[in-house]
Amino acid sequence: MLRIEDLRVNYGGIEAVKGITIEVPEKEIVTLIGANGAGKSTTLRAVAGLVRPAAGHIYFLDEEITALPSHSIVAKGITMVPEGRRVFPDLTVLENLKMGAYLRKDNLKDDIQWVYDLFPRLRERSWQLAGTLSGGEQQMLAVGRALMSRPKLMMMDEPSLGLAPIIVRGIFEIIKEINRQGVTILLIEQNANIALHTADTAYVLETGRLTMKGVGKELLNDEAVKKAYLG
């Protein structure tokens, strides 16, 4: 569904991503794990059109989307839950959800209900400013907001960041549920343990290069992965 081919991204003179190739098959959960600074976020940002790749190609549903503007990429069915949630703090929960559906012109009622059914906590807080939500609730809102565009592919940048383990488990249950409902997922994580348990396929990224690829649960038993990422 999504194919990233030999992607390279530079910031100024620094190479953050040094030629990586990733395949995300339809309906799967694919994860990209790696330490802080490995280039995970940069990869997603390139797909989302937030940074221009220095080289390489990105295809979505057999169509090249490399360096398209972000709004065209959203329109094609790719959404992203950014690192650190980035909800709009002085918009209400409902307004945040509506911003997620910015490009849509049809009725949003059913989708708002769908998101509220996935995250009942958000329904109770519909009129609250997003900035007043707890970290876990903000993450739910960031996911809900991304779903409002009715994506085919949802990219998630470290959804577990800064959240208590019990909340992280809850969020990952929902991620699996969303996937069961037909949304393909590209998940990046530093929390390798939960990511590998959740994903069908996993890639390991080290300082801008891929070092490993495998089935998620198999990598859990890989000695090198255990040593480097599972402590």
Partner 1 sequence: MVLFNTTLPYLLSGISVGGQYALIAIGYTMVYGILRLINFAHADVFMVSALCMVYAVTTFQIPLYIAIPLVVALTVLLGFAIERVAYRPLRSAPRMSVMVSAIAVSYTLQNLALYITGGLNKNYPSIPWLSDSITVLEATTKRVTVVTPFLTIALVVILVMFIQRTKIGTAMRAVAKDFETSRLMGIKVDSVISMTFIIGSFLAGIGSMLFFTNYPGVIPTAGAMPGMKAFVAAVFGGIGSIPGAVLGGFVIGICESLIKGLDTILVNTGLLQSPLELATFSDAFTFVLLILILVFKPTGLLGEKIADKV
Ligand X SMILES: Nc1ncnc2c1ncn2[C@@H]1O[C@H](COP(=O)(O)OP(=O)(O)O)[C@@H](O)[C@H]1O
Residues that bind ligand X (CB under 6 A): 11, 14, 16, 34, 36-42
- The CA-based angle 137-93-110, given to 5 degrees, is 105
Q: Is 67 a residue that touches partner 1 (CB under 8 A)?
A: no
The interface partner of residue 80, options being ligand X, partner 1, Mg ion, none and the CB cut-off 5 to 8 Å by kind, is partner 1
* 201 forms part of the interface with Mg ion (CB under 5 A): no
Nearer to partner 1, 143 or 202 (CB): 143
Give the separation between CA 126 and CA 151, rounded to whole angstroms: 22
CB of 177 to ligand X, least distance (A): 25
User: Which of Mg ion, partner 1, ligand X, none lies near 38, with the C-beta cut-off 5 to 8 A by kind?
Assistant: ligand X
How near is the Cβ of 225 to partner 1 at its closest, in Å?
A: 30
Question: Taking CB under 8 A as the rule, does residue 149 contact partner 1?
Answer: yes
The interface with partner 1 within residues 168-227 (CB under 8 A) comprises none
Report in angstroms how near the CB of residue 144 gets to partner 1 at its nearest: 13
Give the nearest distance from C-beta 153 to partner 1 in angstroms: 13
Among 5, 23, 28, 95, binds partner 1 (CB under 8 A): 95
The answer to whether residues 15 and 207 touch, using CB atoms and an 8 Å cutoff, is: no
Q: Which of 99, 161, 167, 230 binds partner 1 (CB under 8 A)?
A: 99
User: Using CB under 8 A as the criterion, which residues of the chain lie in contact with partner 1 when the complex forms?
Assistant: 48-50, 69-71, 74-75, 79-80, 82, 86, 88-91, 95, 98-100, 102-103, 145, 149
Q: Which residues bind Mg ion (CB under 5 A)?
A: 41, 83
